[in-house]
Structure 1
């Protein structure tokens, strides 16, 4: 997901769900329940019992009425005996019919008072058994106020007044517009999408275009097929799109189709953005590994909201902005999520720094790949000033999306972007490029030698990532992750200079072990202090000029940045009307 800075700055335990009457603050209309607004969190045994094999999703978009109708055919395999199906679906989309394995159920067989559609099966399904539910539903879906930070439907118009529509669902989840399992590990192995739209409109979506059906009245149905899509990565996009396409010849020997769908009248800007696709893809393939969805497509669609990492159909709404680094950061960031989010998906929202930290680090890394270390350093410094250190990046428990992204719910907020990026920068310099990129490839692909066809999308976690670092380096870096991931405050490097003696000592929350090496420059000559015990003492000539960490290789406390933040806060308070 894009940085929230732009706006302002499998567990089986039961999770208590607020009653129907517990409506949340209305971020959009129609209002949604606490259950629908919640995405992820602890799972019930009924939820973990379902393996999601296939979703066949038929939608009809009715823009004039701002209505969405759907028929969802969901196929599951039971991991344990199942008597009921717990399916997440916003109650603003009422269910009119349900069939199990082709046999219609009476209305008394299902209930959905709060956004958890519960279907009582005609007979229990044993472990290893299969069940198919066909759900017919429709209504007025929840509208986002400020997408993509608030989720829902985005009904808009093109400059010439034609329909322009999109969905975004990372925060509140897939249940805003289709019946799903709204938690990270609930992604289906295969999805077929059939999107029916009015005459003159197109509906680019996830995966491979199977075909377009045209009706006598001019309506069209766009048929797509996608493998292993992230639940919130499934997206509807509707508009009078034009298209630019091409083929990328990968260094791994395969050819990857590339598409950009844009609004009429924007061809020059669209072609310039499209020209960034191939070099950006080459960067990721050279630094990380094969594009994970090369047998489907690299797809981008212009949307009436800022952006989102919808698998193989990334949303783009950056208005073709120009930036000093010479590339479109939004396109690059959302594209990074094809590796860090769609190929590697965190099984628990608490581990989403794996998505956003890596996704954010890819921008300065791309700057370095294009222009060198000066651009890398400049872009990193831009991120450094946004780190807040209010909460740890991980809470070490099963969390919901909002408990990670929102500060008032105890989340780390934008720190999973910027602090995550700087932690990765520090780790890279600690263990070296060879080990760092080996760790990254293993985390993304589950193996060190990815090639097209020898990997599939996978789930990862912080615990697994630490184990990969330990396996690749042969060293235990638990002390590193304890501070950067599990503590809010940054490590502080205390400098004491007495005469010709300089002493450096790390101070970390809890006063634990922190043997992070530091470079010191003395009169222009740089040496590395191993800091094995967390401290180091060295002789310096009298009057020598000393610079600690001259290349900013380490994420550590900055009193100057804290002073800037305090000053800005004071200025903002003064500016408030009394």
Structure 2
């Protein structure tokens, strides 16, 4: 999600990242998720939302169908913010006792314990928003715009759910609002019902979805469409924009067609081909969100000048990484945000060549990435996005281009429509490459919270009419003792010719020798920028 525009100045970026960090729900560290929530498997959410923008209220009902997968379950626990009032709750045709406190709904199960359940809840009230997150009643140029933003754990602000990223379910949602609004959600539009004053839009998914990716948008949108044909499949591309942005959006959003071709050729066919790919404008000025099949784009990211190509690519790439291939837990968020960021890099390489790839990666370089990619302290920091992209860049260098692409495609095919962990990805990498990558994953993802800091020097001696170039390297980083990595050196000779030599560093101090018939005068480490490293001579 939450890909900030890189054109904002550095201090603005720090401010907004700080805003996100400070607005995390404490639930990520405390008791938002209970042990009981891992004992159920939600199969489907069937949701009706009646939106009243004038009063900033909703009147809603939901049917949750699921399985009980652990016989020790005594209470059915879900996430649901108590800013909304439950009017009726029926569990398998009974009226059980329940408690509803803060963001937790606990329902006493009446024995005997069933294998399956249907939970029907009617509720109403003013849903909570948390800055730009939750359920937001807003406006653009005095026009109403209602939207939701659930990641990481705000879905419960507007509907009862098992708000765990790995518990994917089917979704059917009906959104009722006044006739001047178009209401948009995930999946495919099935029907529109209309009365004298209101319209109800019914959307349905044909692929499972995580709760944090469920979306609602409702505004007086202008809608325009495109079609994309791939391997005889036809995808509907649907855009929903505010009227004053229509012409600029037509210019900007035309980029998606080419991106769909490249990502499908590279990763595998667009995973929600039976539904759509859509983009809807919403009120998050400084971000975008990869809601499954219907990305939310901040309304300031429509220029008519293709200024925000990388953001569009990032959010589209999430349809593969984070959406189709979901997360087993938030500890694994690198598989979503790091992958989407490196997808930007790959698309830049495809469009503009290898120099564009290098330029993109250098724009993501930071000498002070701190913390691990596994279970990061801040889910949406530059560590996860930018170091995350660098780790994939280095993995590509470690295994080679063709193997890297085989890994990516295999990972997508094995885990699409389910959830994966970093360990799952490591296993795929090792199977496809035939290499033991324990050290790579340990140093860059699991325990390594630093980056390479390498001192180097060189010496030249003559031997039998040849020259011996000795390169001495010393790792001086303080946190992670010893990185292992392949490295290239560009050797510059006295006649100004150049050659690339390669070695593999696997100790804190190392000496490597190369023989040459010409006399070297200088060396440049990592000339093509494959390593997340600082070099000093």
TM-score band, normalised by shorter chain? 0.7 to 0.9
Match of 1:18 in 2: none
Shift of 1:234: 0.5
Contact 2:288 2:296 in 1 (8 A): yes
Aligned to 2:63: 73
2:443/2:480 contact within 8 Å kept: no
Q: Deviations over 1:159-194 (max 9, x none)?
A: 2x2211111010333111110011112221x11001
Candidates 478, 485, 497, aligned match of 1:516: 485
2:449 pairs with 1:491: no
Contact 2:259/2:313 (<8 A) preserved = yes
1:155 correspondence with 2:137 = yes
- Which residue does 1:143 correspond to in 2? 129
Which residue of structure 1 aligns with residue 442 of structure 2?
Answer: 482
Change (3 A) 1:141 1:64: same
Which is strand-richer, 1 or 2? 2
TM-score calculated relative to the size of structure 1: 0.82
In structure 2, the residue matched to 1:420 is: 388
**Which among 13, 30, 44 is matched to residue 8 of structure 1?**
13
Report deviation, 1:323. 11
CA distance in 2, matches of 1:473, 1:41: 40
1:324–1:391 distance in 2 versus 1, CA, 3 Å: farther
Alignment RMSD, CA only?
A: 2.7
Output one character per residue of 1:332-389: Cα deviation in whole Å (capped at 9) or x when no partner.
111111001001111011110110101111112111101101211111111113x632
Distance 1:293 1:554 in 2: 35
CA drift at 1:99: 0.9
Structure 2 counterpart of 1:111: 99
Q: How does 1:397-476 map to 2 (within 5 A)?
A: 403-405=377-379, 413-446=381-414, 456-476=416-436
Deviations 1:42-81 (A, max 9, x none): 9644212111111101111111111122101001111122
SS of the equivalent of 1:330 reads helix
**Equivalent residue for 1:328?**
309
Secondary structure of the corresponding residue to residue 520 of structure 1? strand
Pick aligned residue for 1:316 from 297, 311, 320: 297
Answer yes or no: is the 8 Å Cα contact 1:320–1:328 preserved in 2: no
* Pairwise CA distance, 1:322: 6.0
Q: Which residue of 2 aligns with 1:574?
A: none
Unaligned runs of 5+ in 2: 462-469, 493-497
Query: Contact 2:134/2:155 (CA < 8 Å) preserved in 1?
Result: no
Greater shift in the superposed pair: 228-237 or 493-502: 493-502
Corresponding residue of 1:24? none
Distance 1:78 1:84 in 2: 11
Structure 1 unaligned blocks of 5 or more: 10-26, 407-412, 448-455, 561-578
TM-score where L is the length of structure 2: 0.88
CA distance in 2, matches of 1:342, 1:440: 15
> Which residue, out of 275, 278, 303, partners 1:299?
278
Q: Is 2:338 the partner of 1:357?
A: yes
CA contact (8 A) 2:68 2:116 kept: yes
Change (3 A) 1:68 1:39: farther
Structure 1 counterpart of 2:111: 123
Aligned equivalents of 2:410, 2:237: Cα separation in 1 = 26
Matched, 1:172 2:153: yes
Per-residue CA distance 1:477-510 (angstroms, 9 max, x = gap) = 1111111112111122231334543212445667
Aligned pair partner of 2:263 in 284, 287, 290? 284
Structure 1 residues 388 and 172 mapped into 2: Cα distance closer, same or farther (>3 Å)? farther
Structure 1 residue 445 displacement after superposition: 2.2
